[in-house]
Amino acid sequence: MASPRVLLRSTPTSLKPILQLRQLSSSSSSPSPSSTPPPNPKKPLTPQQQLLLSRALRVNQAGELAATLIYTAQTPPLLRREPHLKPLMKHMYDQEASHLQTFNSLIAKHRVRPTALYPLWSVLATGLGWSTAMMGREAAMACTEAVETEIGDHYNGQIRQLLEMVQGWEDEDYDVGEEFKELISTLKRIRDEELEHLDHAVEHDAKKAQPHWLLTGVIRAGCRGAIWVSERV
């Protein structure tokens, strides 16, 4: 069979542009083996990495539940004496409720067992919120300051660990995946909102609570203990 070039030479001049156009179209549509390299594979999680992620989602959900209960208990007694704080309290509660919804979805999606200490944390968080509100605005804000200081540090630690995992995968030419990148982005956003609450608390006289060092010290120690236990139980 004659080659396309021979046919083109023997073809009438009026048909040559049509054949050339067809040849060009056929050439451009044929896939090039080297034009689209295969995507990098995803590296399976090690048991240690799976444990890290499970603990992170479990404790984060427990912490956000506690935060919503603290604000729920604080708001009524606090607003009776400080009604002008209603927009601020609603803003902070709404953000905490959104965080809780996020982690509820994540632990369901990844089949992570919630902490078994839900009933205990619920009672303690409610009691902490109510008691600090009864002590006054400064004590209520000091409570927020203490809690958000520990939570901010906690999220920063998680983010650092996850970024180290990502760096290791990238160094080995593994694909990180959009889902993992989205998780890190979500943690950064939530951390920033928690630190925003810390700023609000300081702006509303958290440092004037008496005795500030004792109140915040006890609450921060309680938060650290709750974080450690909730990761494991």
Say if residue 164 carries a ligand binding annotation.
no
Q: Which two tokens stand for residue 167?
A: 């760096």
How would you class 83 by CB atoms within 10 Å of its CB: exposed for 0-12, middle for 13-18, buried for 19 or more? exposed
Q: What is the C-alpha to C-alpha distance for residues 74 and 96, in angstroms, rounded to an integer?
A: 14
CB 62 within 8 A of CB 226: yes
Say if residue 178 carries a ligand binding annotation.
no
Say if residue 231 carries a ligand binding annotation.
no
Say if residue 194 carries a ligand binding annotation.
yes
Say if residue 150 carries a ligand binding annotation.
no
Q: Is 131 helix (H, G, I), strand (E, B) or coil?
A: helix
Among residues 31, 6, 37, which one has the least CA distance to residue 19?
A: 6
Q: Which two tokens stand for residue 210?
A: 């008496």
CA diameter of the chain: 101
Say if residue 179 carries a ligand binding annotation.
no
Binding-site annotation, residues for Fe cation: 64, 96, 99, 148, 194, 197
Binding-site annotation, residues: 64, 96, 99, 148, 194, 197
